[in-house]
């Protein structure tokens, strides 16, 4: 991508919501644009991150054996009356229509997915079933805040599983925990599994996935060596205790919640009367679980967990592009043309090998502006081509996460980039 041709550029103006690191860097970096409190537009760079995160999630959910569907945001009132949540859920948007009917604008999809799966599933032989979607959710938050972490409209992966027995549910639930940890790990994040109370959904046990970052809104007691953690409010251990899982050290730290999973029991199969026949001929209400990852929130959590004072430091797996290529100007017109053509050649060599390059080809921006933009946007690797580097037949190579820079021969760039990106 030639940066000069993208409409959405970096901005020097900090957004109103300056207390939130993700809002500041995502907005100033040209990743998102706030339309109103809790509602964002995703610009080309931000959408690429969201799509990469979504692809990782899809792969992990498919590997679990779950099937992807797409359920509607606009939902009939009847299902919500059936479960009792039409009146009990405070943050449910209720949409009036011209015909006098009211619809729910889905904050979650149990009211849709339960009768949907019920329609196809009659016997224990048809179970287990797990379905998921990547879809947009709506919640009438009184105080939308923290940038893309808590919105009125937000992206979510929600999965629902259906089982003929509690044991089958529990086995799937454990596999889901592993898939979630794998998902966060592939997004470059250090995630902990935290036992939590189920909030509005259920009194049953549930788990949150917390991304460790000093900017987190939740305080947790976490193991330095494994995935174990507890919510500080209900912790049964204390800091400097040994981890009950692995014997590692427990420390008090901050986290951002990026996912949660719930045992729904028969909370929804009961009101919808979703039964299956068992092997012995008896009938059984199905057991359900639900499993959420906030996709837009996850992008914000990555920024909270991975940045410095100059901008974002994207993990390679979710960076909108791999390489930030900068061609500097020259007062000499011929040399300027030479720099641009050398940059073009590197750009084409790399993109032809499916390396994703954002080329800052602007001719009216200073070197200082370009460096500041590269740090703000935060791609994993910065390559600079200038008069100085071309004298050495080289480019200047600097990884965003490191402080050293060095010269790399133009002829070796493709090979070294391949090494740099190898883990992908």
The footprint of a copy of itself (CB under 8 A) covers 5-9, 33, 35-36, 39-44, 47, 50, 65, 67-76, 90-91, 93-99, 105, 112, 116-117, 119-121, 126, 129, 131, 136, 138, 140, 142, 152-153
CA 360: distance to chain centroid?
26
Q: Compute the least distance from the CB of residue 19 to a copy of itself, in Å.
A: 21
Q: Compute the least distance from the CB of residue 408 to a copy of itself, in Å.
A: 30
Comparing CB distances to a copy of itself, the nearer of 138 and 397 is: 138
Comparing CB distances to a copy of itself, the nearer of 352 and 403 is: 352
Q: Rounded CA gap, 205 and 285, in Å?
A: 20
Which residue's structure tokens are 């979710």? Answer: 318
Q: Compute the least distance from the CB of residue 308 to a copy of itself, in Å.
A: 26
Comparing CB distances to a copy of itself, the nearer of 299 and 342 is: 299
Q: Compute the least distance from the CB of residue 74 to a copy of itself, in Å.
A: 5
Q: Compute the least distance from the CB of residue 9 to a copy of itself, in Å.
A: 6
Q: What is the DSSP code string of 172-235?
A: HHHHHHHHHHHHHHHTT--EEEEEEE-TTS-SSEEEEEEEE-TT-SEEEEEESSSSEEEEGGG-
Give the other-Cβ count within 10 Å of 292's Cβ.
22
Q: Rounded CA gap, 131 and 113, in Å?
A: 9
Q: Compute the least distance from the CB of residue 73 to a copy of itself, in Å.
A: 6
Relative to beta strand 275-277, strand 307-308 is unpaired
Comparing CB distances to a copy of itself, the nearer of 118 and 394 is: 118
Q: Compute the least distance from the CB of residue 7 to a copy of itself, in Å.
A: 4
Q: Compute the least distance from the CB of residue 12 to a copy of itself, in Å.
A: 13
Relative to beta strand 250-265, strand 228-231 is unpaired
Residue 206 contacts residue 260 (beta carbons within 8 Å): yes
Q: Rounded CA gap, 312 and 140, in Å?
A: 30
Q: Compute the least distance from the CB of residue 401 to a copy of itself, in Å.
A: 28
Comparing CB distances to a copy of itself, the nearer of 117 and 181 is: 117
Comparing CB distances to a copy of itself, the nearer of 113 and 313 is: 113
Comparing CB distances to a copy of itself, the nearer of 40 and 201 is: 40
Comparing CB distances to a copy of itself, the nearer of 47 and 251 is: 47
**Cis peptide upstream of residue 127 (ω within 30 degrees of 0):** no
Relative to beta strand 287-294, strand 250-265 is antiparallel
Comparing CB distances to a copy of itself, the nearer of 5 and 419 is: 5
Q: Rounded CA gap, 193 and 336, in Å?
A: 53
Q: Rounded CA gap, 124 and 157, in Å?
A: 26
Q: Compute the least distance from the CB of residue 349 to a copy of itself, in Å.
A: 21
Q: Rounded CA gap, 387 and 396, in Å?
A: 11
Comparing CB distances to a copy of itself, the nearer of 136 and 185 is: 136
Cα of first residue to Cα of last residue in the chain, in angstroms, is 20
Q: What is the DSSP code string of 84-148?
A: THHHH-TT-EEEE-TTS-EEEE-S--HHHHHHHHHHH--BGGG--EEEEEEEEEE---SS-BTGG
Residue 378 contacts residue 313 (beta carbons within 8 Å): yes
Q: Compute the least distance from the CB of residue 42 to a copy of itself, in Å.
A: 4
Comparing CB distances to a copy of itself, the nearer of 42 and 347 is: 42
């Amino acid at each position: 991508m030639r940066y000069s041709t993208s409409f959405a550029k970096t901005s020097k103006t900090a957004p109103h919501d300056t207390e939130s690191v993700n809002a500041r860097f995502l907005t100033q970096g040209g990743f998102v644009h706030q339309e109103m409190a809790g509602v964002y537009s995703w610009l080309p760079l931000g959408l690429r991150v969201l799509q990469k995160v979504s692809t990782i999630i899809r792969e992990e959910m498919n590997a679990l054996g779950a099937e992807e569907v797409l359920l509607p945001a606009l939902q009939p009132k009847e299902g919500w009356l059936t479960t009792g949540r039409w009146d009990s859920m405070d943050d449910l948007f209720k949409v009036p229509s011209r015909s006098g009917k009211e619809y729910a604008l889905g904050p979650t999809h149990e009211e849709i997915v339960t009768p949907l799966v019920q329609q196809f599933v009659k016997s224990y032989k048809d179970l287990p079933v797990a379905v998921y979607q990547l879809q947009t959710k709506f919640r009438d938050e009184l105080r939308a805040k923290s940038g893309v972490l808590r919105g009125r409209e937000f992206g979510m992966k929600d999965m629902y599983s259906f089982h003929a027995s509690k044991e089958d549910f529990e086995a799937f639930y454990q596999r889901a925990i592993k898939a979630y940890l794998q998902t966060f790990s592939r997004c470059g994040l250090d995630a902990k599994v935290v036992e939590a109370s189920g909030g509005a959904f259920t009194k049953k046990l549930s788990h949150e996935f917390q991304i460790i970052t000093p900017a987190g809104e939740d305080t947790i007691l976490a193991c330095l060596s494994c995935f174990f953690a507890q919510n500080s409010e209900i912790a049964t251990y204390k800091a400097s205790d040994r981890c009950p899982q692995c014997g590692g050290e427990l420390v008090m730290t901050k986290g951002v919640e990026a996912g949660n999973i719930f045992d729904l029991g028969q909370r929804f199969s009961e009101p919808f009367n979703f039964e299956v026949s068992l092997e012995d001929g008896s009938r059984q209400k199905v057991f359900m679980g639900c499993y959420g990852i906030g996709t837009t929130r996850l992008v914000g959590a990555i920024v909270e967990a991975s940045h410095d004072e100059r901008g974002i430091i994207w993990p390679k797996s979710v960076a909108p592009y791999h390489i930030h290529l900068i061609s500097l100007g020259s007062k000499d017109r011929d040399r300027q043309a030479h720099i641009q053509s050398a940059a073009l050649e590197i750009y084409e060599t790399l993109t032809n090998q499916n390396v994703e390059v954002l080329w800052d080809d602007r001719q009216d921006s200073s070197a200082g502006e370009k460096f500041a933009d590269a740090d703000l946007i935060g791609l994993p690797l910065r390559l600079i081509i200038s008069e100085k580097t071309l004298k050495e037949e080289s480019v200047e190579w600097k990884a965003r996460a490191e402080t050293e820079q060095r010269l790399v021969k133009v002829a070796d760039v493709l090979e070294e980039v391949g090494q740099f990106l190898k883990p992908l």
